[in-house]
Structure formats: structure tokens, C-alpha cells
Amino acid sequence: MESINAQKIIDKIEQGDATWIYEHFSEAFQEITSFEQLEYLLENYNAIRGVNDLYRHLHINRHDEYIWFDRQMFTGASITLNKYQEIVGMALLPIKYSKNPKVSKQSYTIPIKTSCLVYGGGDNELINYHYRYKQQRHAIDLVQVKEGCTYSGDPNHCENYYSYNKEIVAPANGVVEEIVDGIPDCVPGELDTVHPEGNYIIIKHGRHEYSMIAHIKPASFKIEQGDTVFRGQHIANVGNSGNTPEPHIHFQVMNDKYSQSTQTLKIKFQNKIAPVKGDIVNYTGDQIFIKEHAIASFIKSLRSDFTHLFKG
């Protein structure tokens, strides 16, 4: 088996070597991606990119993801390899930013007291797959990881995921505006696109400021609509309901309670942190600590210019 490293990959991308790259696609990835599409993507990317630097190498569930940005942050690249060192995910993107994003007035903690990995979060689409949708743009996704894995045993059972059934806590004081319950958990890897948020809670924290936590375990809510909740209070448990590849927490703050038409706010966290994909965040009372550049992240459903859904 040929050994592949980050430098070899980015060299082949910058050289526009479509033949080498395509030969290293998995068979399933080749089935959904034509050689001509790859050539076109490489040509357009190399026409606008600057000098690339490796941003992060993320390893979990026997997969490796390499992320690069050019030094002007105009473009970004991401490659995901499986345990056989086959390419199973790829994105080459121009980087777009929101100008002067609105920031929450309240300060928040993460809605879980367990140390978690941020596997979706940040101010561009390459590190935050929510970013292209205004109603989710500043959302973050949190998952628990142990020894480089998000689960132990059979990955087809929710109970085998470390995040599953963990306590969800209120991220700030507020009043429960809405609860949706009764949607069953999905088998990991099977997505409920009819109910994308799954079971969720919306909490009002002030005028034009609401938080939403989604993909909650059915029948796990500890509070009711209209209840006052306090930061750190146990309100529900992590589930796998809705459009989610595995048990995790989806957390966002928004300017109204209608999640399908709202605009998200950039979350102002305690300690003025700004967690992004690959960071480890820890809840400690009213404070959050962040471990920068953690070598751990994985997205089972990687949205890119090429889309490929796979299990670890």
C-alpha cells in the first residue's frame, strides 16, 4: 500500500495531477465522481488559490482529514482518507465570510458538561458545514470522543456512541419557548430528512435572542414549555433524532424562534472563546476552556463539492 501524507496530497492538488488523485479515490467515491469533474475542479481551484499551509490534521474513527488554507484565506482544501488510505472525501472551495456578523448579546456555555469535540464550527464552509445556510450559519456540533473514536463496538447502535444519552444542560438562563418530542432516534448513518432537527428545544434568553438544541433523545426532556431554566440545569439527553449521522449536540443561537426562517447569531461564549472544528471544549461551571488544535475530528456525512456518505 502506498503511503500518503499531507505534503504529497497538497502537492498533487497544486500540480493539478487529476490522474494520481483519481486513482486514489475509493471505488465508491469514483462511482459518484467523474474524472472530468475532478479535472474541472482542480483547474478552477488552482486558478485562484494562493500558497497553502496545512491548517489541521484530524484523525478519528480510523479516518484522517487534512485541511489547508492559503495564506490570504481566499481558498481552502480538505481531503479525507479511510483506513486503507483511499480518498473518500474532498473539497476545494473559495472561502466566503459574512461581513460584520451579528453577535449574541448574552454569553453562553456549551450545553453539555462533558468534554466534547467541535466537529462542525467556524466562520467558513470548509470547517463548518452549516455555514452556507443562513438559518444555521453560526451553529456548532459537539460530539464526545474517547481514544480517537466516537463509539465503541457496533456503530449501528446509538447506545454504543459516547455522546448518546449524555445530559444536555441549559447554556444560559431563559424561558422554554418550544419543545418538540416524540421523534424516534435514527439508526446511526440513516438520516431523517423529513424532521431535520429531530426532537429539539428552543429557549428564549432575551429580546430577539433564542437558543436551539437539536437531535435530542425522545422522552428525555426534564422541563416543559414555559418553564424558567438556569445555566447548567439538566434539560434533556443527547439523542440521534433527525437529520444526523450519529448522536451529537447541535447548538445555535438565533434572532427569532422560527428555526427554518431565522438568522443565526455568532455565539458569544464565556471566556470570549471561539471554538472551531477540531477544538476540544470543556464545561466548568460558568466558564469554558478550549484546547486549541486538537488532533481529532470526523464527519460521517462529509458535504463537499463531491458528496460521499460512509461509515467508519
pTM of the model: 0.88
- Rounded CA-CA distance 87/102 in Å is 37
Which pLDDT value is given to residue 287?
A: 67
- Report the pLDDT averaged over residues 7-17: 96
| Whether the Cβ atoms of residue 37 and residue 121 lie closer than 8 Å to each other | no
Q: Break the chain into its structural domains and give their ranges.
A: 6-94, 116-291
Q: Which residue has the higher pLDDT, 291 or 64?
A: 64
Contacts 24+ apart (CB under 8 A), 12-15: 13/42, 13/45, 13/46, 13/77, 13/79, 13/92, 14/46, 14/49, 14/52
Q: Residue 161 gets which letter from DSSP?
A: B
Tell me the sheet residues that pair with 56. 67
- Structure-model confidence comparison of residues 288 and 281, the more confident one: 281
Determine what percent of the chain is predicted with pLDDT higher than 90: 81
Q: Report domain 6-94's class.
A: alpha beta
pLDDT for residue 302: 32
CATH code of the domain made up of 116-291: 2.70.70.10
- pLDDT bin (cut points 50, 70, 90) of residue 310 is very low
The 3-state DSSP class for residue 132 equals: coil
Nearest-angstrom CA–CA distance, 22 and 90:
11
> How confident is the model over 234-283, as pLDDT tens digits?
999 999 999 999 999 999 999 999 888 888 999 999 888 899 999 999 88
- List, for residues 164-187, the tens digit of each pLDDT value: 999 999 999 999 999 999 999 999
Nearest to 170 by CA among 211, 216, 136, 220: 211
Name the average pLDDT for the chain.
Answer: 90
Between CA 199 and CA 177 the distance in angstroms is: 14
Phi-psi region of 255 (alpha: psi -120 to 50; beta: other; left: phi over 0): alpha
pLDDT of residue 32: 94
